[in-house]
A = this chain, B = another copy of it.
């Protein structure tokens, strides 16, 4: 066999971790009958307000209350029998924890969830009730990365990252694949942007089957790590954002997700906490669905006029609905007393 430098170069590119449409199709096939095919809802009042046709992909109605189930299930289902029997580990106090705990149980594995000891008691309880083991740690004295790595090594656990992983991105990408199947062609697709997994998955899917669709991510005004990173041309670390959107408080975009988003995302816009609660109230009163702060970022951006979309067909993902009555009430309290 002759040595061919071009071939070697191609192979080098091929082994760099990436995500393809085939990966998303495979994820969607694994999720069929397991994840919910979540409804796409429309709202005449919203269409009138934004002068566009908006199709809301309601992943807040997904199993475990967020799109995170798709990535977690896809990733765990790819593990071999031995890996599953040893179990998985995840660091999260939020939707990823619920997703990993549930998916692990469904797939005959066990999950160890690492959470800060000051996480809301309801979240600690929820993970336990789903059959997960919970290990708390002190956010101020312990390093969560070191702890997670040590626990994984000690117990032979496989880490399921919240977004920066091929199988997690492929699972998240199934949201967009499903939405395009349900809604038909879209001029614009707007989605909440945290670690960037869902947006990266959307990029993979739309690049392949709907390249004209503009892809827009929405961050909080205080947590615009990807917007800043896109401007800088490399990943930028920001201070821990102060926001009510507790699902999107990361300090730096994922490595893999950023590489994917950098080449596909048309724009990143931001919204304020006030705009987030407006969107929550709107979804409650007009669409009759419950969404959590991080879940409404895309709707908040539309309502605030952050995205220019005259007469276009717009997909917007409502990505999570895990908020209890107490917190929902507390966040909308000012609205209740004001009017």
- Residues on B with C-beta less than 8 A from A290 are 284-285, 288-290
Structural contact, A61 and B289, CB atoms closer than 8 A: yes
CA distance A248 to B61 in the complex (A): 28
CA distance A63 to B47 in the complex (A): 13
A155 at the interface (CB under 8 A from B): no
B-facing residues in A42-74 (Cβ within 8 Å)? 42, 44, 60-61, 63, 65
Contact of A39 among B39, B42, B332 (CB under 8 A): B39
CA distance A287 to B291 in the complex (A): 11
Structural contact, B60 and A288, CB atoms closer than 8 A: yes
Contact of A288 among B65, B285, B335 (CB under 8 A): B65
A6 at the interface (CB under 8 A from B): no
CA distance A39 to B59 in the complex (A): 13
Taking the closest CB of chain B, its distance from the CB of A127, in whole angstroms, is 15
Interface of A is mostly: helix
Structural contact, A44 and B65, CB atoms closer than 8 A: no
A107 at the interface (CB under 8 A from B): no
B-facing residues in A217-242 (Cβ within 8 Å)? none
A15 at the interface (CB under 8 A from B): no
A36 at the interface (CB under 8 A from B): yes
Structural contact, B39 and A325, CB atoms closer than 8 A: no
Structural contact, B63 and A39, CB atoms closer than 8 A: no
A336 at the interface (CB under 8 A from B): yes
CA distance A281 to B291 in the complex (A): 14
- Residues on B with C-beta less than 8 A from A285 are 290, 324-325
With A284-B290, A329-B332 given, name 19 new contacts (CB 8 A).
A36-B41, A36-B42, A39-B39, A41-B61, A44-B63, A60-B288, A61-B288, A281-B325, A285-B290, A285-B324, A285-B325, A288-B289, A288-B290, A288-B321, A289-B290, A325-B335, A326-B336, A329-B329, A329-B336
